[in-house]
Amino acid sequence: MDEVFSITGGWLLLDKSIISNTELVYTQLRCIKTGFTKKYKNNTTACLLVSTTTENYASAESACKASGTRLYTVKTQDKLDILLTITRFLNISFWIGLDDRANEGLMKWSDGTALDATWGNIILPSSNKGNQDLEDCVEYNPLLYPFNDNDCSLKNRYICEMTTAS
């Protein structure tokens, strides 16, 4: 069954002819990195590493980048559901790839795109936003569900996702 594969940024792709379509490539990626596990929800596939150690946000970001990945972007309900399957029995917080370090109040994903306002109101309700320079990094938080901005210097576990852009 293993036929023509290509290596892109350390990731094994099923078919390099579809590299131009980011979403399609994302669903076709094989999850082969050590420590990463493949998760599905509907048509969404994610290849994720759930850290076993805690780091501040910048160190967590660096750790993901060091393996050619990025902090998890939770842009859809399916990706949120995938995260919840990982975290639901763990009463602890995880850094995800969302922060407003560069511009206060303007949340950006770890892929550089802006947080959609409508989705932002769902996943990061105003009551969970400090909206101040002390709280610039977003965590999954079982108490301030699902996400909360917090002090980037705090140490949390974190979730990396494999990407095609490494």
Residues near Ca ion (CB under 5 A) are 100, 130, 135-136, 148-149
Nearer to Ca ion, 31 or 144 (CB): 144
Least Å distance between CB 149 and Ca ion? 4
Nearer to Ca ion, 35 or 130 (CB): 130
Least Å distance between CB 104 and Ca ion? 5
Nearer to Ca ion, 73 or 148 (CB): 148
Whose structure tokens read 């902090």?
71
Cα–Cα distances in angstroms (integers) from residue 109 to residues 80, 85, 115, in the given order: 14, 21, 7
Nearest to 157 by CA among 144, 142, 139, 145: 139
> According to DSSP H, which parts of 67-124 are helical?
77-87, 117-123
Contact by Cβ (8 Å): 104, 47: no
Nearest to 138 by CA among 89, 76, 74: 74
Nearer to Ca ion, 73 or 93 (CB): 93
Least Å distance between CB 101 and Ca ion? 8
Rounded Cα distance between 120 and 80, Å, is: 12
Contact by Cβ (8 Å): 41, 81: yes
Least Å distance between CB 33 and Ca ion? 31
Nearer to Ca ion, 23 or 133 (CB): 133
Least Å distance between CB 56 and Ca ion? 15
